[in-house]
Chains A and B, each alone.
Chain A
Amino acid sequence: MIRQVSVFVENKPGSLMDVTSRLTEAGVNIRAVATFDTPEFGILRMVVDKPDEAKEYLTKLGYVVRIHEVMGVALEDKKGNLNQMLAILAKGELNINYIYSFIIRDGKEPVMVFNTDDFAKAEKVLKEAEVKIVEEADL
């Protein structure tokens, strides 16, 4: 089992950055992160190296923080492996509430996937900042 840290965040500019910068202050390393889009608020879910310290630090600053367990499954980087795992869970009639992937991977650059209302603008600002945009074919 893996312990996951969930933080309540509002859907407004900078709210995710507020959490990540606080964790940086606390010396906590984020290994994986996920949010899902809802109009008003979100739950930021993270796997970090020091969950207890993360919760204590953020709670002290007024965040609503929850630690709970999730299951981790190692997947080889091979075609159909995710599908195979999902098939096993489906066959067992297990419902998956959410799924996300690690951004820190050995030997390869981590990939962060995000969704925004204005992709054209996002692409423009990222290119201006010389950030490498990974296309589907590059994965």
Chain B
Amino acid sequence: MIWAKEETLPRAEIEKIQLERLKETVHYIYEKVEPYREKMDAAGVKPEDIQTLDDLKKLPFTYKADFRDHYPTGLFAVDKKELVRFHASSGTTGKPTVVGYTRKDLDTWLNNVARIACMGGATPDDIAQNAFGYGTFTGALGLQGGLEKIGAAVIPMSSGNTKKQIMFMQDVGTTLLIATPSYALHLGEEIRARGLDPEKDLHVHIGLFGGEGMTEPMRDEMHKVWGENFLCTQNYGMSELCGPGVAGECEQLCGMHINEDWFIPEIIDPKTEEVLPPGEKGELVVTCLGKEALPLVRYRTGDLTRLFYEPCKCGRTTVRMENLSGRADDMLVIRGVNVFPTQIEEVMLQIPEIGPHYEIVVERKNRLDVMTITVELVDDRLLDSYSKLSELEQRIKKGLKAQLGLATQIKLVAPHSLKRFEGKAKRVTDLRKDGL
């Protein structure tokens, strides 16, 4: 099922819509959002200079750091009374990245999610179990709204509580699972460990996965666990752009279709910042079109990918982005949560008993991400008793939990036992091979 006719327009028509909306957007931000106006003035570009899609590259980039610099709502283009929703995701440091929606934004967003849900095989008959964590995270409420638009029934289960997840699947007859791919694998294995065969004993036959990338080896595992006929697709988004609904895979599994009438993608070389030709790998830069509350122009996503413009066998003509192949920065995705090493550093610097050096190791144990942070003990007073040392450990964990919203493992080591770096430190080791 194709949700919107805009997904199948000839390229010339897609581009016509894009250009029209781009011109409007550029005038809008120049008029309404001071930081944009300042940036454009500094770059010597006026809204009238944008006459073709190619002119997009004249505009300055927007960075995640801009959200921090204009925290919480300095990039918003409307008054707070026009907003109907806030969401938030992690920032690069202690303050979250806050995003907002007007009623029209919410409607556009959820329609875009409806499109990607249809790409992934959802129908009005589906019973969708939503195992994304509810809260300020855009994933859970975004998918819920999109599926409700289609007419599917949503179970707002939230993440975790495996036993209850399985009970609802059995008793209510869930047909569609929304989760991070790693949690879906974990859940599937737990189901098998209880002696159930998902293919025979359950009705779940569609997986809509997001929050973190799904590699092809993970998809293979997914079929082993959930059955050969399980249709599992992934979708892409980030809260700054709207949340989920930016792009999604169709049943052809040949990349994620970008909702191009609302988002203009570019691929740039993250170092030279030059726009690269179609098919080349680089950093994805996205310009949002028609957004009222939080317009975003040339946003540096940090995600590395490629774009393919050939029409798809599914009938959609929208550009497809390849599975993400990494990050241009040092952001980590842990259990679907974005984590920046700078956030961890900020917590560490507030604890005087430990040194400023740290190491982060990320592994996947039993399909779930485990992050271990190694820090050096420097205060000898803690050696009076074990309870003082474990109190320190708990204090670090609590600080990180408050900052990241994630549980972490802490390892205390002797001073000078962590590697010292000249120049750029390599503090993060990611052992999750192919996401498995």
A residues near B (Cβ < 8 Å) are 6-10, 36, 38, 40-41, 43, 62-66, 68, 97
The residue from A43, A63, A65, A68 contacting B389, defined by CB atoms under 8 A apart: A43
- Contacts A6-B383, A40-B411, A66-B380 aside, 17 further interface pairs with beta carbons under 8 A come to A6-B380, A8-B380, A8-B414, A9-B414, A10-B413, A36-B386, A41-B411, A43-B383, A43-B386, A43-B389, A62-B415, A64-B378, A64-B380, A64-B414, A65-B383, A66-B381, A66-B384
CA distance A6 to B388 in the complex (A): 14
Q: Are B383 and A64 in contact (CB under 8 A)?
A: yes
Interface residue total, chain B, C-beta cutoff 8 A:
18
For the complex, would chain B's binding face be called helix, strand, loop or mixed by DSSP majority?
Answer: mixed
> In this complex, what residue of A is CB-closest to B384?
A68
By Cβ-Cβ distance, the 7 closest A-B pairs, closest first, are A66-B383, A66-B380, A62-B416, A6-B383, A64-B380, A62-B415, A41-B412
Q: Are B389 and A64 in contact (CB under 8 A)?
A: no
Q: Are A8 and B377 in contact (CB under 8 A)?
A: yes
Decide yes or no whether B221 CB sits under 8 A from chain A: no
What are the residues of chain B within 8 A of A38 when measuring CB–CB?
A: 386
What are the residues of chain B within 8 A of A62 when measuring CB–CB?
A: 414-416
CA distance A134 to B411 in the complex (A): 35
Q: Min CB distance, B43 to chain A, in Å? A: 50
What are the residues of chain A within 8 A of B415 when measuring CB–CB?
A: 62-64
Decide yes or no whether B20 CB sits under 8 A from chain A: no
Decide yes or no whether B170 CB sits under 8 A from chain A: no
Decide yes or no whether B330 CB sits under 8 A from chain A: no
CA distance A64 to B412 in the complex (A): 12
CA distance A62 to B420 in the complex (A): 14
> In this complex, what residue of A is CB-closest to B376?
A64
Q: Which of B367-401 contact A (CB under 8 A)?
A: 377-386, 389
> In this complex, what residue of A is CB-closest to B378?
A64
Most A CB contacts (10 A, CB to CB) among B379, B383, B416, B417 go to B383
What are the residues of chain A within 8 A of B384 when measuring CB–CB?
A: 6, 66, 68
> In this complex, what residue of B is CB-closest to A6?
B383
Q: Min CB distance, A100 to chain B, in Å? A: 14
> In this complex, what residue of B is CB-closest to A38?
B386
Q: Are B417 and A10 in contact (CB under 8 A)?
A: yes
